[in-house]
């Protein structure tokens, strides 16, 4: 089971602009960073059901939903909950190819060695195994892996199951998901320039695969048919309060502060912004309020001037900033 991180030495003092010399000191963790512990994650019941079904059917789990709703963090929570190692993560890019989910090959380095006539080393030394390739290797007993496939510095942790997080798969070229359908279904890959043999995960040790998508573009139907799908909803107020108390325990005795903060946050979210703030922005904003000491100063409505300085944590576009400012002015005016 993963160890809890210490919550000591987490104080953050603001504003830095009044004492720049402090910025030269080693950075201390904020409550938000400390709260990244997977045990502080609060999944909803539907998400738990979805991952149960995915593991029962041995199919990938595809998570969609607003950015910042915790899709990526769920993979770390699941690994912690199962007592497994940290997820093996593949960060999808617009240039990603199907091979790169398994391995990359340093063609230039290999060519350079040949040009300078350096010491000949095996081709596998120029391979860097990526998330799913590494997970499949981990699912095989080290004794059954051909040594010619492994770089000399490769360290096998022992046969084990892994969670593979393929983050933001919708960023990839449209053919990317379809190009890996068979490999994911049968859990294998090949490295043609080393061997034509399949590298296959042992059946009982197959990795658990979690895809995330922000719905930037539609995913192909053949890919969707092979996944268990769940859209992570934005939490209601009750769940937001639960998340806040788990992630920032210092606010457990600050019910009025949390209630007022959520009231204002809800107004901002529903003010017609181009990009609504999600859970991640809420937690960042609350951590900022704590940094300014507003949780110790009574009613938030009476702190309009300081609150205005924190809105950059909630808005992400030039057009949204004045909308949030107007919401704040109206909200503060109610108390006057």
Q: What's the pTM?
A: 0.83
Beta bridge partners, 244, equal none
pLDDT given at position 115: 66
Task: Judge whether 16 and 23 are in contact, CB under 8 Å.
Answer: yes
- Going from the C-alpha of 44 to that of each of 48, 50, 51, 55, 171, the distances in angstroms are 7, 10, 11, 17, 26
Cβ atoms within 10 Å of 327's Cβ, excluding its own: 20
For residue 37, the model assigns a pLDDT of 76
What is the per-residue pLDDT for 9? 40
pLDDT of residue 138: 98
**For residue 242, what are the CA distances in angstroms to 30, 189, 247, 248?**
19, 42, 9, 10
The residue whose two tokens read 């809890």 is 4
- Pick out the chain residues at pLDDT < 50: 1-12, 14-16, 20, 23, 27, 29-32, 34
| Number of alpha carbons in the 13 Å side-chain half-sphere of residue 56 | 7
């Amino acid at each position: 089971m993963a160890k809890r991180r210490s919550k000591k030495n987490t104080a953050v003092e603001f504003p830095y602009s009044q004492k720049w010399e402090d910025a030269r000191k080693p950075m201390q963790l904020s409550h938000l960073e400390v709260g990244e512990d997977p045990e502080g994650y609060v999944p909803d019941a539907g998400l738990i059901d979805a991952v149960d079904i995915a593991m029962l059917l041995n199919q990938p789990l595809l998570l969609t939903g607003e950015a910042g709703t915790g899709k990526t963090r769920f993979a770390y929570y699941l690994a912690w909950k199962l007592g497994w190692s940290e997820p093996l993560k593949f960060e999808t890019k617009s240039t990603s190819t199907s091979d790169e989910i398994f391995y990359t090959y340093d063609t230039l380095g290999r060519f350079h060695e040949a040009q300078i006539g350096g010491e000949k080393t095996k081709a596998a030394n120029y391979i860097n195994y990526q998330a799913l390739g590494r997970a499949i290797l981990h699912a095989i007993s080290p004794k059954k892996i051909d040594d010619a496939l492994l770089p000399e510095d490769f360290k096998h942790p022992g046969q084990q199951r892994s969670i593979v997080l393929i983050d933001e798969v919708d960023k990839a070229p449209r053919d990317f998901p379809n190009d890996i359908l068979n490999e994911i279904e049968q859990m294998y890959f090949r490295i043609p320039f080393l061997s034509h043999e399949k590298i296959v995960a042992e059946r009982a040790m197959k990795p658990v695969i979690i895809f995330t998508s922000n719905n930037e573009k539609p995913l192909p139907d053949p890919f969707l048919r092979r996944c268990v799908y769940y859209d992570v909803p934005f939490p209601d107020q009750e769940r937001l309060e639960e998340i806040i108390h788990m992630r920032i325990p210092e606010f457990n005795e600050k019910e009025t502060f949390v209630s007022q903060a959520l009231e204002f946050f809800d107004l901002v979210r529903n003010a017609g912004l181009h990009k609504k703030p999600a859970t991640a922005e809420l937690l960042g904003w609350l951590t900022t309020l704590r940094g300014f000491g507003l949780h110790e100063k009574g009613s938030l409505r009476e702190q309009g001037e300081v609150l205005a300085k924190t809105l950059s944590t909630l808005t992400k576009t030039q057009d949204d900033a004045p909308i949030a400012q107007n919401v704040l002015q109206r909200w503060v005016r109610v108390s006057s």
